[in-house]
Structure 1
Amino acid sequence: MEMVVDDDAAKIKAAGAAWRAPAAMVLVQLIITGLTLLSKVVISRGMFIFTLHAYRSAFGTIFILPYALFYERSVFLPAYTPCKSSLVPVCAPRGKWKEMNWRGSAWICLNSCIGYAVPSCLNYYGLRDTTSSYAVIFLNMIPLVTFILSLVLRMERLPLGTVTGSLKIVGVLLSIGGTMLVSFYKGKALHLWGSILQRHNEQVPVANHHLRGTIFLLGCTFTSACWYPIQSIVNKAYPHKYWSSMTTCFLGGLQTTLIGIILRRDRNTWKLGWDLQLLTIVYTGAFATAVRYNLESWVVAKRGPAYPPMFIPLITVFTAVLGSIFLGEAITVGSILGGATVITGLYVFLWGKSKESPE
């Protein structure tokens, strides 16, 4: 009898463990959805984009620091090597912070600009000129653009004439076609229900610069894809992910702060009050930066790097539904058709990726 109970308990425990990774990734997509909706509201109400990104980076740096101190203490706290030529038990410090050479510093600085600050600001500008449900469609393109960029840089190979290669090509072509469809065809606007957060006279302003916003979002997609090959080089030059991420966040925020001050020197632009702007910044730093990063890192360690992208399409669904409910955003037929095509292309691509034989 006790053996049966133990077997049942083991099965329940195993089932619970199997659901942890999917649940973590669903939570990540909800966090990104919340980030998108909050950012859309504060930007549409006039918040300066460089101010938003600068404070976001500052809070992100603060919230990542405890993880770096806890998980990578050896970087900050130097260890000591025994001195064989002396009776003294310890001698010269060998802290891993010394591993940060000029090469690693240069790549982290480049990554903070091209892979972090630029795509974030382009995404904010694209979000300002379009809708949240439209902007998140381009997130589905990032894995595909990353693959194309990796091919150009010869970091990835495309086995032509094989099932894997054919599926990847079909997936990329479908996603490109879906992006073109959603960019150039709107169709009928569907208002599923009224907003419950915004009053009728306080609706989030409707974007009037669809083409300009699309260009910003395409730029965001490309520069976001640049993050992955650059980050792979950073990991080799300085393999301490929390410290490198914190440094990237800090330097990216410093860059946007300097540019923002040049563009707008009015002190009121940089003031924060106890309002939705502060909530958005704290939420972005705590959840969309620190919590999201740690959840994704844990899932990659458990299931591999190909697992997290499978959940990206959920952001499109969550944002479309919640954006319609809370912000009263309309969903166009073009967005539905184009988004479905992009998502289909992503899954076809990931299907081909899953069929790769390990080297």
Structure 2
Amino acid sequence: MLELQSLVQNFYAESIKLTSATFASAMTNLLPGLTFLIAILFRLENLMLNTIAGKAKVMGTIMGICGAMILTFYKGSEILTSSAGLNILECNKPHHQSFLGPVLAIVSCLFAAFSFNIQKLLSDNYPYPYSSTALICVFGAIQSVVYALTFDRDWSHWKLEFNISLLVPLYAGLVASVVVICIMSWCFQVKSPLFVAVFNPLMPIIVAIASKLLLDEKLYLGSIIGSVIIVCGLYLVLWGKAKDTTRGPHAEGTDMTLCRPLCR
């Protein structure tokens, strides 16, 4: 199950190819809700709707998803009309959405939600983020090679030149995989899967800023409204987690939970 991250990235990349980056980014907003539901099934989270903390976590998760959806699908009036971006791409190819693209995006989010919860269980029993990250990357690399050889046997496509086709794999491997998984593994030791997943709706905000700076895309009022709702939902979930009084085997916020990696 350590190679779920590889499936997440492969399915997500294929979804972008079949649809668009905007659509695939919007679909990832399902991740906090799916992670919360799976965490409840794994008994890593308690719903506790009879408490203020439980209601805050549920409402914050819903607000984060709704805010990200508004940011992605609602444009409104254009805010910044001046051209301040670099536009590193010479042209933008039109994307044709197919039925398979949305399905792959949903499957990618589902695998990511399972991966978050499994990494939480792994960190509870093996609290060593660096070695666990190495294991995840090794199994993911093996799976990715099998995946690539299965769907693309043209060896000319494996040739990398010193351009964006080389920089993208390096960034995805070193930053998006090694650094991100290592940081998430550490977060899983002291927090819960929902705590990690709830930050995912911040991605459309970063995408909007990066698209303006690098691709010279337009910034609309919907981006600002969605960003505000996302931040409000995020802090509502964090407040609920801080007020969570659960003392189960996976409870967080206690001294033993924070000290456990140091005591082993």
Corresponding residue for residue 26 of structure 1: none
Indicate conservation of the 8 Å contact 1:141/1:346, yes or no.
no
1:101 match: none
**Which is further off, 187-196 or 160-169?**
187-196
Whole-Å separation in 2 of the counterparts to 1:221 and 1:120? 10
Q: Kindly provide the CA deviation profile for residues 292-329 of structure 1, in whole angstroms up to 9, marking residues without a partner as x.
A: 4455566777xx43776676555433321221221133
For 2:87, the equivalent position in structure 1 comes to 197
For residues 331 and 137 of structure 1, what CA distance do their matches in structure 2 show? 16
Counterpart amino acid of residue 257 in structure 1: V
Partner amino acid, structure 2, of 1:131 = A
Question: 1: distance between equivalents of 2:231 and 2:33?
Answer: 11
**Contact 1:142 1:224 survives alignment (8 Å):** yes
Q: 1:156 aligns with which of 45, 63, 69?
A: 45
- Which of 139, 146, 149 aligns to 1:258? It is 146
In structure 2, do the counterparts of structure 1 residues 211 and 323 end up closer, same or farther at CA, with 3 Å as the change threshold? farther
For residue 225 of structure 1, report the CA deviation from its aligned partner.
1.3
1:168 and 1:353 in contact (8 A); partners too: yes
Change (3 A) 1:243 1:298: closer
Structure 1 gaps of 5+ residues are 1-109
Verify the 8 A CA contact 1:142 1:221 in the aligned structure 2.
Answer: yes
Q: Which residue of 1 aligns with 2:15?
A: 126
| CA distance 1:237–1:247, change in 2 (3 Å) | same
Largest Rg, 1 or 2: 1
Offset of residue 247 of structure 1: 2.0
Alignment match, 1:274? 162
Note closer, same or farther for the CA distance 1:209–1:340 as it changes in structure 2 (3 Å cut): farther
2:109 equivalent to 1:221: yes
Change (3 A) 1:327 1:178: same
Instruction: Tell me which amino acid in the other structure corresponds to 1:160.
Output: L
Amino acid at match of 2:151: L
Match of 2:232 in 1: 344
Provide closer, same or farther for how the CA distance between residues 355 and 291 of structure 1 changes in structure 2, counting only shifts above 3 A: same
Distance 1:178 1:295, change over 3 A: closer
**TM-score normalised per structure 2:** 0.72
Cα deviation code 1:228-267 (max 9, x no counterpart)? 2212333455554323322221222222221221222110
What pairs with 1:53-132 in structure 2 (closer than 5 Å)? 110-112=1-3, 115-128=4-17, 129-131=19-21
Match of 1:15 in 2: none
Query: How far is 1:338 from its partner?
Result: 4.8
SS in 1 for 2:2: helix
Give CA deviations for 1:17-73 in whole Å, capped at 9, x if unaligned: xxxxxxxxxxxxxxxxxxxxxxxxxxxxxxxxxxxxxxxxxxxxxxxxxxxxxxxxx
| Structure 2: distance between partners of 1:244 and 1:319 | 29
Aligned residue for 1:174? 63
Partner SS for 1:111: coil
Offset of residue 163 of structure 1? 0.7
Instruction: Say whether the 8 Å CA contact 2:15–2:102 is kept in structure 1.
Output: yes
Partner residue of 2:191? 305
- Residues 1:166 and 1:173: Cα distance change in structure 2 (over 3 Å): same
Question: For this pair of structures, how many residues does the alignment match?
Answer: 242
**C-alpha separation in 1, matches of 2:105 and 2:197:** 19
Q: CA–CA distance in 1 between the matches of 2:217 and 2:99?
A: 18
Whole-Å Cα distance in 2 between the matches of residues 116 and 357 of structure 1? Answer: 31
Cα distance per residue 1:134-161 (max 9 Å; x no partner): 6445555534432221112222212222
TM norm structure 1: 0.56
- In structure 2, the gaps of 5 or more residues are 248-264
Q: What residue number does 1:147 align with?
A: 36
Pair 1:243-2:134 in alignment: no
**Counterpart residue identity of residue 125, structure 1:** E
CA distance in 1, matches of 2:92, 2:136: 32
Change (3 A) 1:188 1:177: closer
Distance 1:300 1:232, change over 3 A: closer
Is the 1:181–1:338 Cα contact (8 Å) retained in structure 2? yes
Instruction: Check whether the contact 1:193–1:325 (CA below 8 A) recurs between aligned residues.
Output: no
CA distance in 2, matches of 1:180, 1:312: 12
